[in-house]
Amino acid sequence: MSQRVKIGKLAVLLASLDKEELTPFQDQLEGVKFCTGRAGSMNMQKVIAAVETAAKRQHIISEEVYRETHSLYHAILEALEGVTRGQIAIGDMMRTVGLKFAVVRGEPYARNGEGEWLAVAFYGTIGAPVKGLEHETMGLGINHI
Amino acid sequence: MSQRVKIGKLAVLLASLDKEELTPFQDQLEGVKFCTGRAGSMNMQKVIAAVETAAKRQHIISEEVYRETHSLYHAILEALEGVTRGQIAIGDMMRTVGLKFAVVRGEPYARNGEGEWLAVAFYGTIGAPVKGLEHETMGLGINHI
Amino acid sequence: MSQRVKIGKLAVLLASLDKEELTPFQDQLEGVKFCTGRAGSMNMQKVIAAVETAAKRQHIISEEVYRETHSLYHAILEALEGVTRGQIAIGDMMRTVGLKFAVVRGEPYARNGEGEWLAVAFYGTIGAPVKGLEHETMGLGINHI
Amino acid sequence: MSQRVKIGKLAVLLASLDKEELTPFQDQLEGVKFCTGRAGSMNMQKVIAAVETAAKRQHIISEEVYRETHSLYHAILEALEGVTRGQIAIGDMMRTVGLKFAVVRGEPYARNGEGEWLAVAFYGTIGAPVKGLEHETMGLGINHI
Amino acid sequence: MSQRVKIGKLAVLLASLDKEELTPFQDQLEGVKFCTGRAGSMNMQKVIAAVETAAKRQHIISEEVYRETHSLYHAILEALEGVTRGQIAIGDMMRTVGLKFAVVRGEPYARNGEGEWLAVAFYGTIGAPVKGLEHETMGLGINHI
Amino acid sequence: MSQRVKIGKLAVLLASLDKEELTPFQDQLEGVKFCTGRAGSMNMQKVIAAVETAAKRQHIISEEVYRETHSLYHAILEALEGVTRGQIAIGDMMRTVGLKFAVVRGEPYARNGEGEWLAVAFYGTIGAPVKGLEHETMGLGINHI
């Protein structure tokens, strides 16, 4: 892969590694803007809102411009396809998620004109709404911004 | 997450990190069986076959027992939902993938009777069948075996 | 296309054009029965109910016969696939719609025995539940009745 | 088909036949564990919960072990794909179901090591939330346990 | 269920029972038109064509009228949702099917004006393209004609 | 709708109206860049390629920049969801399309910073691979560029 900065890989690492495990990747993280957060819910709307709110509050995307919200929204949905694998639904299908998420904004391509892209990653658990009846899940979405 | 061994996280790291980056995770990898490989194609069947063949040749699953093939097949499909985000199709939708994959087999739960589980992860690129017109993609599937 | 009356095209025009823009199409509209209406909601059930209620009240379909409701229901769902593009869900995915709809009933084919068909079209906006954070959307469903 | 015991066919018959019609299949039913029940709802969560509760109360699966719940959950979802045909949703799409279900646990394969598998079948009606505006529906899911 | 004739149940029984097992249902079968056949393939197109050809050759539907082909096509697709559970694809996803199918045409409702409906059922196996690595599968589709 | 230029509506009109019918919309078309073309095929890849080739040849998007191809590709896929309603597949599901398409590039929003967006519309027929056994179909996709 000829990409200069792997924003997808960085988002995945930010969502799945703890602080100590992230240490070797600090250099790569200096080339991008990012935020992280947590969302635990049976309600898909709350998961989407948690990511959007974090990305706006921490100035990863602009609140004023619809095209940035549109880009982030589709990156979130694509990441949720990986999390839910088949139907973007949780509570309606009697399952719950406990997720850590990361949003990374950077310039993955060296070519002129490619500009900025967004990566959204989720990592955590999905399962029955009973503690322990769950397994790991992950998702990644990428979009131009 | 109360899991003893995070087979999903390990599969994701095996698929996305290079040898040096994996060094800090060697301890965790000692508790599981795993294999890795590569699949680049516009043909979904070839991607599925590459993972199944690797997992059988390297004795991660048994070739003799259908239930192990069945478990792996569904874990692969779930991981491909993350890679393809919406329709499990590549060439038919005029896109191609260049993926590294990992299959991990281990016992994630401390409880008696939970036994062995499989994790399948893909990491790489998806895009137009033209070099450079592509972005990162990732997927993870988990199943009991 | 060898169709006598293009009920799908007429439904799309009824849903997307204003009164003045529709003037040149009055002749074509004389060969069919139709109704139009509006539905704005985060609740998919309300959108479906708005179309069904309008079509029954304005006698486009019969309230007494299940086969007509069944035909309309599937035409609505197919049109909603175009509106939602991937998952027939709105509020659960934190998005809202503001739609104009049209139901057209006519005989598109010259062949004997082809009888009546239904077209359902939606046109309007889909987006975040914040005014202005939205873009256009459209869908068309066709069924025999 | 070389299967010793057709757990899928038995689940379908248990869900769709009445007591008298089932008489000729009593012999085949002696080789498996099974339970049946009913679920009528516009709420998908309640349908899933009805099957899980019945299967646990009647000891078809163990309540203590997550892998059995995981296996049953995926068999239920696969059966619901047949019931809903396209989107695993009912009330959100303004439709309701009245279903009889069956869960069968047995050893379909003669080969050593194939062990136990689960079949979940639904049979009943799906339609508008108005009595009589409905047609038949069926679904079958199979998983290793 | 208040239906006079359960065309869906009859289609399922025709697809899954052998001749002897069908004996107790002969009375119910006298009230409907039906045909059965077999389709084994990795190619979805061939499965669809096998059902359409059988239904036309055996005069269950008319070859001359598009609305009958349209009705049958959608009933076949709905039945294939149950068979494939998630993506209507077989060979592309490296799986093969061996199916028996049945098409039933009858008047399920006592109400005037409900007229004729079609049921399409599949029963058989789905699995890896290796003998024995497969499990049962079933699907049912219903449409007005 | 508060949009200055309705690029989606214009794309739909360009795809579905003939030259004469388009006359009243000439004013609106002056504010945007657009191209049109035709694609008739059982092969989804060819449909996608026809739109991409036309848009590049007629300089609606730049061939040099991946982000423009990425934006167009996702707008095409969203429009194909409306055309295919459920599974983005044609030949595999034994159906064929005869489509006219339009790509429109413009600035739909008055707000600063919203920049350019793309609309892709299809209109034509979908049906069995037999002349006349087909009905109308339409789809619209919108993306920021």
Task: State the smallest CA–CA distance between residue A23 and chain F in angstroms.
Answer: 32
Task: Give the integer Cα–Cα distance in Å for E89 and E77.
Answer: 11
Annotate D116-140 with DSSP letters as a single string. -EEEEEEEEEEE-SSTT-EEEEEEE
Rounded mean pLDDT, B20-26: 97
| Residue-level pLDDT at C2 | 63
The 10s digit of each residue's pLDDT in B114-139 is 999 999 999 999 999 998 899 999 99
Chains that touch B (3 or more CB pairs under 8 A): A, D, E, F
F113: nearest CA partner in chain A: A65
Residues of B with CB under 8 A from a CB of F: 86-87, 89, 91-95, 127-128, 132-135
Q: What is the mean pLDDT of chain E?
A: 95
**Residue D4: per-residue pLDDT:** 87
d(CA B84, CA F87) in angstroms, rounded, equals 14
The bridge status of strand C117-127 relative to strand C134-144 is: antiparallel
What local confidence, expressed as pLDDT, does residue F64 receive?
A: 87
Segments making up each domain of chain D, as ranges: 41-133
- Output DSSP code: residue D91: G
Find chain F residues with C-beta within 8 A of E69's C-beta. 128, 133
Which subunits count as partners of chain F given 3+ CB pairs below 8 Å?
A: A, B, C, E
pLDDT mean over A129-139: 94
Q: Of C43, C66, C97, which to mutate for an interface test with D (greatest number of D Cβ within 10 Å)?
A: C66
| pLDDT tier at E23, thresholds 50, 70, 90 | very high
**pLDDT over 70 percentage in chain A:** 99
Which of chain B's residues have a Cβ under 8 Å away from the Cβ of F73? Answer: 94-95, 128
**Within 10 A of D76 (CB to CB), how many other CB atoms are there?**
26
Evaluate if residue D1 carries a pLDDT over 80.
no
For residue A139, the model assigns a pLDDT of 98
- Name the amino acid, one letter, at C94: M
Nearest to residue D48, comparing CAs of A88, A92, A132? A92
Instruction: Name chain F contacts of C137, Cβ cutoff 8 Å.
Output: 8, 140, 142
Q: Is the pLDDT of residue E44 over 80?
A: yes
> Is the alpha carbon torsion for D12, D15, D18, D19 positive or negative?
positive
F142 token code pair: 């919108």
Partners of F72 in beta bridges: none
Residues D31-73: pLDDT tens digits? 999 999 999 999 999 999 999 999 999 999 999 899 999 999 9
Tell me how crowded residue D18 is: count the other CB atoms within 10 A of its CB: 8
Residue A112: its pLDDT value, please? 84
Angstroms from C30 CA to nearest CA on chain D:
31
Q: Do F65 and A113 count as a contact with CB atoms less than 8 A apart?
A: yes
What is the arithmetic mean of pLDDT over B33-53? 97
Name the residue in chain A with its Cα closest to that of D73: A128
Averaged pLDDT, B76-104: 96
Distance CA A10, CA A127 (A): 26
Tell me if E55 sits within 8 A of E123, measured CB to CB. no
- Do residue B87 and residue F87 have CB atoms under 8 angstroms apart? yes
> What's the mean pLDDT in D76-100?
96
Q: How many CB atoms lie within 10 A of CB F46?
A: 15
C79: nearest CA partner in chain F = F82
pLDDT tens-digit map of E78-89 = 999 999 999 999
Chain E closest CA to F134's CA: distance in Å?
Answer: 8
Instruction: Name all chains with 3 or more CB-CB pairs below 8 Å to chain C.
Output: A, D, E, F
Q: Tell me which chain C residues have a C-beta less than 8 angstroms from the C-beta of F111.
A: 132
Compute the average pLDDT of residues B33-50: 97
Residue C55 pLDDT = 98
Domain C41-133 has CATH 3.40.920.10: no
Question: What is the token pair recorded at A144?
Answer: 């131009």
pLDDT of E1 higher than 80: no
Q: Could you tell me the pLDDT band of residue E12, with boundaries at 50, 70 and 90?
A: very high
- What mean pLDDT is reported for chain A? 95
Spatial strand order in the sheet of E134-144:
E33-41, E96-106, E117-127, E134-144
Q: Average pLDDT for residues A115-121, to the nearest whole number?
A: 97
Q: Quick one: average pLDDT of F42-58?
A: 97
Residue E32, pLDDT above cutoff 90? yes
**F13 has pLDDT over 90:** yes
* Contact list, B128 vs chain F (CB under 8 Å): 69, 73
Residues of chain B with pLDDT > 70, as a percent, come to 99
- pLDDT on residue F3: 80
Instruction: Check pLDDT > 70 for residue D144.
Output: yes
Among the partner-chain residues E67, E111, E114, the one whose CB lies closest to the CB of C115 is E67
- HEC secondary structure over chain A: CCCCCCHHHHHHHHHHCCHHHHHHHHHHHCCCEEEEEEEEECCHHHHHHHHHHHHHHCCCCCCCCHHHHHHHHHHHHHHHHHHHCCCCCCHHHCCEEEEEEEEEEECCCCCCCCCCEEEEEEEEEEECCCCCCEEEEEEEEEEEC
CA distance C89 to chain D (A): 8
A4 φ, ψ (degrees, to nearest 5): -65, -50
pLDDT tens digit sequence for E93-136:
999 999 999 999 999 999 889 999 999 999 999 999 998 899 99
Interface touch B44/E127, C-beta < 8 Å:
no
User: What residues of chain C have any CB closer than 8 angstroms to a CB in chain D?
Assistant: 44-45, 48-49, 52, 66, 69-70, 73, 77, 87-89, 92
> Looking at beta carbons, which residues of chain F come within 8 Å of E66?
127, 132-134
Tell me how far apart the alpha carbons of residues E129 and E41 are, in angstroms, rounded to a whole number.
10
Among E2, E12, E141, select the one facing D85 at the smallest CB separation. Answer: E141
In E, what residues contact C, Cβ < 8 A?
62, 64-67, 70-71, 74, 109, 111, 113-115, 117, 144
Q: Is E129 helix (H, G, I), strand (E, B) or coil?
A: coil
Q: How many CB atoms neighbour CB C88 within 10 A?
A: 19
Q: What is the H or E stretch that residue B97 is in?
A: strand B96-106
Tell me the mean pLDDT in the region B16-21. 97
* Model confidence at C1: pLDDT above 60: no
Considering all CA atoms of chain A, what is the largest pairwise distance in Å, rounded to the nearest integer? 50
- Taking residues A114-133, what's their average pLDDT? 95
What average pLDDT does the segment C108-132 reach? 94
Q: Is B67 helix (H, G, I), strand (E, B) or coil?
A: helix
Closest-approach residue (CA) in chain C for E78 = C74
**Residue D1 burial (C-beta neighbours within 10 Å; 0-12, 13-18, 19+):** middle
Contact C16 F12 (CB under 8 A): yes
pLDDT in tens, A6-18: 999 999 999 999 9
- From the list C98, C101, C103, the residue with the least C-alpha distance to C124 is C98
**Which residues of chain B have a CB within 8 Å of the CB of D78?**
none
Q: Which pairing describes strands F33-41 and B117-127: parallel, antiparallel, or unpaired?
A: unpaired
D-chain residue closest to E9, CA distance:
D16
- Distance, in Å, from the CA atom of D22 to the CA atom of F57, rounded to the nearest integer, reads 66
